[in-house]
Amino acid sequence: MSDFVLSPIGYLETPFPDRFGIPRQPRLAPHAVGRLRLLRPYDRAEAVRGLEGFSHLWLSFIFHRSAGGWSPTVRPPRLGGNRRVGVFASRSPFRPNPIGLSLVELTAIDTRAGVVLELAGVDLLDGTPVIDIKPYLPFVDSVAQARSGFVPGPPPRLAVEFRPSAMAQLRQQSLRWPHLQQLLTEVLAQDPRPAYANDAERIYGFRLFDLEIRWRCTALQAIVEEIVALTATDVGHAERHEPWGV
């Protein structure tokens, strides 16, 4: 059988310019909003006719910035990063073919100049190539009695605290990003640190929009120390870590 060639139908715009800090699953951060801009010749209003009747969509996408090849086994963060499972029993981006699937909420469709889909609950990197869209059908896509293997439910959530100085910075930046506090709380409550991290004094950093979020984590709490607006030069800094899947 010949190899297949896949071409993006559009690219996502999301709050996550780096891989560190992205929610590990879709819909865990409802205030993580994004836009999918369709490319020509797919950016025609008739291509999305009827889509407004659906509340959620499946996005098929490419893990376009996952370095390295695939392995038959991986170490899921949900198992503490020290147990291996088969790659096909995980949602790792390091797959034979770097294709992912994400369930997002469709909040609006703009067809005034091409096609732009407004989305919520996104868990994808800014600039992610999307290769297909399909509507979510509850009566077939939701299975009440389905088993979830080593992932019995959502991860435990941390309490999130803002230092007084960080809260002042948050209020200032919220003029530009109105739901910043809700989004930051949703992201940090899921503890985006690597599974092996346990140093309560270590300061971590990740980017959200054009901001650097500096925080640390105790056993039960994430503490935001500083929120810094980045310059254009800062925006090109190196990435830190890539969380993934379950």
Q: How confident is the model at residue 243 (pLDDT cuts 50, 70, 90)?
A: very low
* Contact criterion met (CB below 8 Å) for 57 and 82: no
Q: Is the pLDDT of residue 238 over 50?
A: no
Q: Is the pLDDT of residue 68 over 50?
A: yes
Count of positions (residues) in the chain: 246
Q: Is the pLDDT of residue 111 over 90?
A: yes
What value does the mean pLDDT take over residues 129-153? 93
**Residue 240 pLDDT:** 43
The per-residue pLDDT for range 193-214, each reduced to its tens digit, is 876 677 778 999 999 999 999 9
What value does the mean pLDDT take over residues 83-93? 92
Distance CA 129, CA 233 (A): 25
Q: What is the per-residue DSSP string for 156-176? A: P--EEEE-HHHHHHHHHHTTT
The per-residue pLDDT for range 6-64, each reduced to its tens digit, is 999 999 999 999 988 898 888 889 999 999 999 999 999 999 999 999 999 999 999 99
Strands across the sheet containing 221-229 = 159-162, 221-229, 211-217, 204-208
pTM of the model: 0.88
Quick one: what percent of the chain has pLDDT higher than 70?
92
